[in-house]
Amino acid sequence: MSANDAIACPPELPDELPDADRPRRPLRRPHRYVAARAVAAAAAALAVLLGAPPSLPASGGLHGTERSFAMGFTPFPHDGGAAGLFDALATIEQEGDLTVFHYDDGVPWNEALAGLPHPDRATLSWLRSLVPSGQHIYLAVTPIALSRDRLAPCWPNLPLTPPWDTLPFDDPAVVTAFTNHCEEMLALFQPDYFALSIEANLVHTLAPAKWSAWLSLAQQVATALRASHPGLPLFATLQADEFWLRLADPPDPTTGLTQAQAARQVVALSDCVAISSYPAMLTYRGRVAELPPGYFEALRRLDPTKPFAIAETGWPGELLDAPWPWKLGTSALDQRDWVEALLGAADRHHALFVNWYLTRDYDALWSSGSIAQDALNRYFRDMGLKDGLGRTRPGLLSWRRWLAR
């Protein structure tokens, strides 16, 4: 979302692979040259573990005539009006079979602790009513702030008030309130898949002293939800690009864990290996072929016995420039290459679902001033499979071919 140039092979990765095998606040990312060296070092180590796999192909191989995975988007609007929401919903209905509700804007802590309804329950119910018939639903909520280093704010993105502003993740009040919040959201949306934390491994990077408390919270909530919702796949998601950037790092001095070990703890409490993946930032020129060998396989190996899922993803379909810190010559063809590589990997690994986060570029939001014109909003701005004018990109044509399977 700095690393050593040398890396020892992570001992916790298994020896065998299976046969198949929103705009956010900028994360603390290294300069691209440092990142490139870190990724290259991690790739070199994994080449030993994986038996020197080939570079990630620009298009994924097809295995069989049917897909295992649902395909969809969030209804994130390309502009600030109702038309933007309805346009996104229409695209989801026409171009997918999965609707994604992704709530990364805080938790109504006071109401949830008291067992009171969500302050915007009516709107949430209305949104659920708009899901096209027959669609799968993926719901994601999180107790982690957008900055990925502290407790989530009060809904909707309001500063925490006492006592919440001083409570650790595993305080009994936090555990009770967040469990209640999850229960209400599950009752409202009745999802097929559920994330109880978003990009959890970033807490280990950005706030390692809070890692054990987050882990305790997640484990307690997962246990409670499994008892009340048996059979529902639930999990915390991993930020794949952070995983790669930190894979060469030594163990954190606070937790004593490497990035791979922390990621394993996330997967251990989860029913699947679910990743957030926006990997153009790992490349030098914005080309999919520049991604490290074994990009998906390294994450899949965290637990090959559990299902795999792409919880959120995207790739810029246009040149990426300021205020992003460096220029990437990404294009619609590079985006198409990522769609093909992504869906090919989802097929190889028998994924549960793929969520391409944005249906359409949000140029209108950007130019209107309705969204902060910062670096990470710029990174996400042109990730739609439709451009800012609603025109189909080549990646959407590839997407449609997979959807028809």
d(CA 101, CA 96): 14
- Does 17 fall in a domain? no
In contact, 204 and 245? CB cutoff 8 Å? no
68-119 confidence digits (pLDDT tens)? 999 999 999 999 889 999 999 999 999 999 999 999 999 999 999 999 999 9
- Does 69 fall in a domain? yes
In contact, 403 and 97? CB cutoff 8 Å? yes
- Does 23 fall in a domain? no
- Does 22 fall in a domain? no
- Does 321 fall in a domain? yes
pLDDT of residue 59 exceeding 50: no
pLDDT of residue 307: 97
Q: What is the mean pLDDT of residues 140-147?
A: 97
Which domain CATH number covers 62? 3.20.20.80
Of 99, 126, 150, 76, nearest in space to 371 by CA: 76
Q: What is the H or E stretch that residue 275 is in?
A: strand 273-277
- Does 156 fall in a domain? yes
pLDDT of residue 65: 55
pLDDT of residue 66: 84
Structure tokens given for 133: 């018939």
In contact, 372 and 308? CB cutoff 8 Å? no
pLDDT of residue 125 exceeding 70: yes
- Does 3 fall in a domain? no
In contact, 268 and 231? CB cutoff 8 Å? no
For 295, the domain range is 32-403
283-298 confidence digits (pLDDT tens)? 999 999 999 999 999 9
Give, as one character, the DSSP assignment of residue 144: B
pLDDT of residue 81: 86
Give, as one character, the DSSP assignment of residue 116: P
302-334 confidence digits (pLDDT tens)? 999 999 999 999 999 999 999 999 999 999 999
| Total number of domains constituting the chain | 1
Of 195, 158, 218, 239, nearest in space to 353 by CA: 195
Q: Comparing 368-372, 387-391, 393-397, which segment has the lowest mean pLDDT?
A: 368-372
In contact, 371 and 23? CB cutoff 8 Å? yes
Percent of the chain at pLDDT > 70 equals 84
Q: Comparing 1-5, 143-147, 241-245, which segment has the lowest mean pLDDT?
A: 1-5
**Distances in Å between the alpha carbon of 228 and those of 44, 114, 186, 225, 261?**
44, 19, 10, 5, 29
β 308-313/273-277 pair status:
parallel
- Does 20 fall in a domain? no
Q: What is the mean pLDDT of residues 12-35?
A: 34
pLDDT of residue 48 exceeding 50: no
In contact, 28 and 206? CB cutoff 8 Å? yes
Q: What is the mean pLDDT of residues 26-31?
A: 34
Percent of the chain at pLDDT > 90 equals 82
Give, as one character, the DSSP assignment of residue 392: B
* H-assigned helices in 51-195: 82-95, 109-114, 121-129, 172-189
182-216 confidence digits (pLDDT tens)? 999 999 999 999 999 999 999 999 999 999 999 99
Residue 248, phi then psi, degrees to nearest 5: -90, -5
In contact, 285 and 328? CB cutoff 8 Å? yes
pLDDT of residue 60: 33
β 193-197/98-102 pair status:
unpaired
